[in-house]
């Protein structure tokens, strides 16, 4: 018995369960009362049951009213409490029971709706299965997905959902990643590819080395972020809540004053009920929740109402070049070689030739094989780049001929925006841009500069390689522009963005080639991350609302300085999910204008809602004072306005 | 008597109307969410 009571009270401590229990008890009392009333004429029992129903429901309502009063808020709960207590006092038991029970039912439905709004999103991405098939000593073990440890090997069968974040170890397949990236086209996966929990493996069987499981997966992080975002209040919402705080006592004052002047109780009470700012209070949150939910479905993660509002006001956009406008996967295209001595087994004494320049294109290499001077160039660049995480380093290393065995550098230092210095045995290696080599007093011949200019005019990025203070050559890399970049820039302009600028650490001529391809008119090339930051600050000082779009890591300072930082391809990179205000889960560029559009629509929706709410209340109050609107009609119009606001907000989900 | 009538009129009958539309509003929202899925 004791344990039953303990269990019961334990359950009742949970607000939603308590509300449900009180609602059921109170509803049963009413049903019983009416049944008895229909069966026989027992007014006493009927009234007792109605009083019981009213009191049971009132417990919860009065508690909330009291909580409100303690925080100096007058709320509708207070109104209902007064009504029900008064109803019992004057002997209208059925009305008292009806008002309290229905109010409790309304509250329960509201909680369901809010829960459902969250669930829509949760359902969308909480597809991660509960268990994982772990391969251990050639045996299959079924483990709860949350208990999979980093490094475990997980088997994923065709058609099943991926339970963990990890890297494909063997097998090839396509994976439907729309839950995370919003991208409807399945992504191809091969050994080395990243896969995410909650996505669906389509046609092949793969083995995945687990990286994150349970609440650490990208999926779980997205869910948490979106939930936090929906709770975070937008500036307008904060303002309205403050306004409502003064508004309610204001209406009470107005009602008392009108009674004192006119001695018309009905008028005073009508004012009190009609003046309720329900539509106004709900106007902002309903739009924000709908807007954020809509964006999340498209793979756009907006961190909160505040950012949604700010993004709706953006007038200038700054874009990073590498990885944002371009694919961020550079390919080697040309080699400029300055020396022709043979490398031999690897490290050979190499003599500086008489500034004889040879340019070899990468496509020729495939036909003719690797000449020694190219191998030499790649060898020294490779030693320096092997410890770097820069995308250009990845490109150089991935095209290293298999025959070349790269030793580990003895010393390595990265200079952001410039290049790398490294040492191996007696060799000092510098790999970087022309600015970097000039800083280190490496002489660059006139005709070499000419070659650099020519490559740059083709949109190439050139990495120069120097050894022991002597330039030995350059490696030309091309980073293809994303096919949808031009359309994206046009859409930004069409949506009323006044200024679209490209910020890049790359040289002017490379930037110009990309700008020509994308239709961007303003270029700021050859700048360091701090200078990107300064540029954003200057734009802000000019009164612009600036959005910075980057790929998350090296653009972090500029992303933080901008009014709105948008990170691209954030799935899998924690930094981007954590630092940006808006994170695009896929690499789809068109999601940039899309996210600004959703924000603008939401902002417009909020304004429409506020106007609807204020006009209704003003018109009703005017009507009441002029005597042309009475209680019932006024109430109906008032509630209609709440409905219109709700429907208008929900419209955002359908965009 | 007037006070009693006013009380019934406003705080019960009309509050009921308000609560019913509140319930209705929530039912519509739930229905939209259901359709949305």
Q: How far is CA A56 from CA A101, A112, A451, in A?
A: 9, 21, 87
Of residues B17, B23, B25, nearest to A646 (C-beta):
B25
For residue B4, what pLDDT is reported? 67
Distance, CA of A449 to CA of A457 (rounded, Å): 12
CB within 8 Å: A646 and B28:
yes
Confidence of residue A341 (pLDDT cuts 50, 70, 90): very low
Q: Do B22 and A106 touch (CB under 8 A)?
A: yes
User: How would you write A463-513 as a 3-class SS string?
Assistant: EEEEECCEEEEEEEEECCECCCHHHHHHHHHHCCCCEEEEECCCCHHHHHH
Distance CA A549, CA A556 (A): 10
Q: Report chain B residues whose CB lies below 8 A from the CB of A79.
A: 11, 15
Judged by a CB distance cut-off of 8 A, whether residue B20 touches chain A is yes
Residue percentage of chain A with pLDDT more than 90: 16
Neighbours of A120 (CB within 10 A): 18
The arithmetic mean of pLDDT across residues A459-467, rounded, is 86
Reported confidence tier of residue A295, pLDDT bands at 50, 70, 90: confident
CA-nearest of A107, A50, A110 to A84 is: A50
B31: contact with A, CB 8 A cutoff: no
Residue A557 lies in a domain: no
Contacts of A61 in chain B (CB under 8 A): none
Q: Is B21 within 8 Å of A96 when comparing Cβ atoms?
A: no
Distance from CA of A295 to the nearest CA of B (A): 14
Cβ atoms A344, A379 nearer than 8 A = no
Question: Residue A320 domain-assigned?
Answer: no
CA dihedral of residues A215, A220, A224, A229 (deg, nearest 10): 160
Identify the helix (H) or strand (E) that includes residue A308. Answer: helix A305-311
- Beta-carbon contacts of A540 under 8 Å, excluding residues fewer than 6 positions away, are A546, A561, A562, A563
B35 contacts chain A (CB < 8 A): no
Q: For B1-20, what is the mean pLDDT?
A: 62
Tell me the shortest Cα–Cα distance from B35 to chain A, in angstroms: 10
Residue A353 or residue A382, greater confidence? A382
Above 80 in pLDDT, residue A537?
yes
> Does B4 lie at the interface with A, CB-CB under 8 angstroms?
yes
pLDDT of residue B12: 60
Residue A349: is its pLDDT beyond 60?
no
Residues A205 and A335 in one domain: no
Distance CA A225, CA A2 (A): 42
Shared-domain flag, residues A199 and A337: no
Residues A335 and A469 in one domain: yes
**Chain B residue whose CA is closest to A111:** B26
Interchain CB distance below 8 Å, B15 and A266: no
* pLDDT band at A351; cut points 50, 70, 90: very low
Quick one: closest CA in A to B29, which residue? A113
Beta-carbon contacts below 8 Å between A and B: 114
Q: For residue B15, list chain A residues with Cβ-Cβ distance below 8 A.
A: 79-80, 83, 99, 273
**Mean pLDDT calculated for residue range A388-412:** 77
Tens digit of each residue's pLDDT (9 = 90 or more) over A147-195: 888 889 999 988 888 888 899 999 888 888 766 665 656 778 888 888 8
In a domain, A100, yes or no: no
Q: Among all residues of chain B, which has the CA nearest to that of A120?
A: B37
The verdict on a CB contact (< 8 Å) between A96 and B32 is no
How far apart are alpha carbons A267 and A248 in whole angstroms?
A: 17
ipTM for the predicted complex comes to: 0.79
Produce one character per residue of B1-37: b if its CB has 16 or more CB atoms within 10 Å, e if not.
Answer: eeeeebbbbbbbbbbbbbbbbbbebbeebbebbeebe
Contact across the interface for B12 and A109, Cβ inside 8 Å: no
Which of B33, B34, B35, B37 has the highest number of chain A CBs within 10 A, making it the mutation to test binding with A? B33
Which of A431, A447, A478 terminates a domain? The answer is A478
**pLDDT class of A299 with cuts at 50, 70, 90:** confident
CA–CA min distance B14, chain A (Å): 7
Identify which of B9, B15, B30 has the shortest CB distance to residue A99: B15
User: Percent helix, strand, coil in chain B (nearest 5)?
Assistant: 95, 0, 5
Report DSSP state, residue A417. T
Residue A14: pLDDT over 80: no
Whether the pLDDT of residue A418 is over 60: the answer is yes
Mean pLDDT comparison of A21-30, A248-257, A455-464, highest-scoring range:
A21-30
- From chain A, the residues in CB contact with B16 under 8 A are 95, 98-99, 102
Q: What are the chain A neighbours of B37 within 8 Å (beta carbons)?
A: 120, 123
Q: Which of A478, A510, A527 is the last residue of a domain?
A: A478
Looking at residue A553, its pLDDT comes to: 56
Q: What is the pLDDT of residue A446?
A: 84
In this prediction, residue A488 has a pLDDT band, given cuts at 50, 70 and 90, of very high
pLDDT in tens, A196-236: 888 888 878 899 999 888 778 877 776 666 666 656 666 77
Query: B27 and chain A: CB distance < 8 Å anywhere?
Result: yes
pLDDT of residue A121: 52
Q: Is residue A505 domain-resident?
A: no
Q: Which residue has the higher pLDDT, A634 or A361?
A: A634
CB contact under 8 A, B23 and A102: yes
**pLDDT for the residue numbered A560:** 78
CB contact under 8 A, B13 and A79: no
In chain B the first and final C-alpha atoms are separated, in Å, by: 53
Q: What is the pLDDT of residues A90-133, one digit of tens each?
A: 788 888 898 889 888 888 887 776 676 666 555 545 556 778 88
Position A301 in a domain:
no
Q: Would you place residue A592 in the very low, low, confident or very high pLDDT band (cuts 50, 70, 90)?
A: very high
Residue range(s) defining the domain that contains residue A165: 131-216
Per-residue pLDDT band for B31 (boundaries 50, 70, 90) equals low
Q: Is residue A354 part of a domain?
A: yes
Residue A98, by phi and psi: left (phi above 0), alpha (psi -120 to 50) or beta? Answer: alpha
* A625 assigned to some structural domain: no
| Higher per-residue confidence, A433 vs A339 | A433
pTM score, whole prediction = 0.61
State the Cα–Cα distance between residues A54 and A32, nearest whole angstrom: 13
A148: CATH = 2.70.150.10
Inter-chain residue contact B6 with A103, CB threshold 8 Å = no
Residues contacting A349, CB < 8 A, separation 6+? A341
Cβ distance B28 to A647 less than 8 Å, yes or no, reads yes
Q: What is the count of structural domains for chain A? A: 2
User: What positions of A carry a catalytic annotation?
Assistant: 320
Q: Do A266 and B9 touch (CB under 8 A)?
A: yes
CA angle A517-A523-A528, nearest 5°? Answer: 120
> Which domain CATH number covers A429?
3.40.1110.10
Q: Return the minimum-mean-pLDDT range out of A341-350, A359-368, A613-622.
A: A341-350
pLDDT in tens, A538-556: 999 999 999 999 875 567 7
Residue to substitute from B8, B12, B24, B37, interface A, most A β-carbons within 10 A: B12
Q: Helix or strand or coil: residue A564? A: strand
| Segment A596-653, tens digit of pLDDT | 999 999 989 988 988 998 888 888 888 888 878 776 677 778 778 877 888 888 888 7
User: Which of B10, B24, B31 is the best mutation test for A, with the most CBs of A within 10 A?
Assistant: B10
Q: Report pLDDT digits (tens) over A253-265.
A: 888 888 898 887 7
Beta carbons within 10 angstroms of residue A224's beta carbon: 12
Among A157, A192, A216, residue at a domain's last position: A216
Mean pLDDT of A441-465: 85
Is A202 inside a domain boundary?
A: yes
Contact at CB, B36 and A636, closer than 8 angstroms:
no
């Amino acid at each position: 018995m004791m344990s039953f009571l303990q269990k019961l009270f334990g359950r009742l401590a949970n607000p939603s369960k308590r509300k449900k229990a009180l609602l059921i008890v109170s509803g049963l009392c009413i049903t019983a009362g009416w049944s008895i009333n229909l069966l026989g004429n027992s007014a006493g029992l009927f009234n007792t049951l109605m009083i019981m129903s009213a009191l049971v429901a009132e417990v919860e309502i009065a508690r909330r009213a009291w909580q409100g009063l303690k925080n100096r808020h007058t709320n509708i709960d207070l109104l209902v409490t007064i009504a029900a207590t008064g109803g019992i006092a004057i002997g209208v038991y059925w009305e008292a029971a009806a008002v309290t029970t229905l109010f409790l039912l309304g509250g329960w439905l509201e909680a369901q709706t809010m829960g459902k709004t969250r669930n829509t999103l949760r359902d969308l991405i909480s597809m991660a299965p509960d268990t994982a098939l772990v391969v251990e000593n050639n045996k299959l073990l079924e483990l709860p997905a949350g208990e999979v440890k980093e490094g475990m090997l997980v088997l994923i069968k065709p058609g099943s959902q991926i339970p963990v974040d990890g890297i494909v170890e063997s097998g090839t397949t396509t994976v439907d990643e729309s839950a995370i990236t919003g991208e409807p086209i399945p992504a191809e996966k091969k050994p080395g590819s990243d896969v995410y929990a909650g996505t669906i493996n389509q046609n092949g069987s793969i083995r995945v080395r687990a990286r994150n499981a349970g609440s650490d997966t990208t999926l779980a992080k997205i869910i948490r972020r979106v939930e936090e975002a929906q709770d975070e209040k937008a500036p307008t919402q904060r303002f309205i809540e403050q306004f409502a705080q003064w508004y309610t006592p204001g209406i009470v004052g107005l009602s008392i004053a009108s009674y004192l002047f006119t001695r018309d109780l009905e008028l005073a009470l009508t004012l009190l009920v009609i003046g309720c700012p329900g539509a106004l209070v709900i106007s902002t949150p309903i739009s924000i929740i709908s807007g954020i939910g809509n964006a999340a479905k498209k793979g756009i993660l907006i961190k909160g109402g505040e950012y949604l509002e700010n993004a709706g006001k953006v007038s200038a956009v700054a874009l990073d070049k590498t990885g944002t406008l371009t694919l961020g996967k550079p390919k080697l295209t040309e080699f400029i070689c300055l020396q022709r001595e043979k490398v031999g087994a690897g490290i050979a004494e190499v003599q500086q030739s008489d500034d004889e320049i040879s340019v070899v294109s990468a496509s020729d290499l495939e036909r003719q094989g690797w000449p020694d001077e190219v191998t030499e160039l790649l060898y020294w660049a490779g030693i320096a780049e092997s410890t770097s995480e820069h995308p250009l380093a990845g490109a150089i290393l991935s095209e290293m001929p298999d025959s070349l065995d790269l030793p580990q550098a003895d010393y390595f230092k990265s200079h952001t925006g410039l290049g790398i210095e490294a040492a191996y045995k007696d060799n000092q290696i510098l790999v970087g841009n022309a600015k970097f080599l000039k800083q280190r007093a490496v002489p660059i011949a006139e005709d070499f500069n000419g070659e650099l200019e020519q490559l740059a005019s083709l949109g190439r990025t050139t990495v120069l390689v120097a050894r022991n203070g002597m330039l030995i050559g350059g490696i030309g890399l091309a980073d293809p522009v994303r096919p949808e970049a031009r359309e994206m820039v046009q859409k930004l302009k069409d949506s009323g963005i006044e200024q679209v600028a490209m910020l890049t650490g790359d040289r002017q001529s490379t930037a110009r080639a990309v700008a020509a391809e994308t239709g961007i008119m303003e270029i700021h090339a050859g700048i360091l991350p701090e200078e990107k930051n300064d540029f954003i600050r200057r734009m802000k000082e000019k009164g612009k609302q600036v959005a910075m779009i980057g790929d998350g890591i090296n653009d972090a300072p500029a992303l933080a300085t901008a009014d709105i930082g948008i990170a691209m391809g954030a799935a899998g990179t924690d930094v981007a999910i954590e630092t940006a205000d808006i994170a695009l889960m896929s690499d789809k560029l068109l999601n940039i204008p899309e996210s600004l559009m959703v924000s603008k629509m939401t902002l417009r929706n909020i304004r429409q809602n506020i106007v609807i709410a204020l006009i209704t209340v003003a018109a009703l109050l005017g009507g009441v004072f002029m005597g042309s609107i009475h209680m019932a009609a006024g109430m109906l119009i008032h509630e209609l306005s709440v409905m219109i606001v709700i429907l208008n907000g929900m419209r955002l989900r359908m965009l | 008597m007037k006070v009693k009538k006013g009380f019934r009129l406003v705080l019960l009958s009309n509050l009921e109307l308000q609560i019913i539309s509140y319930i209705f509003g929530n039912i519509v929202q739930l229905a939209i969410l259901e359709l949305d899925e």
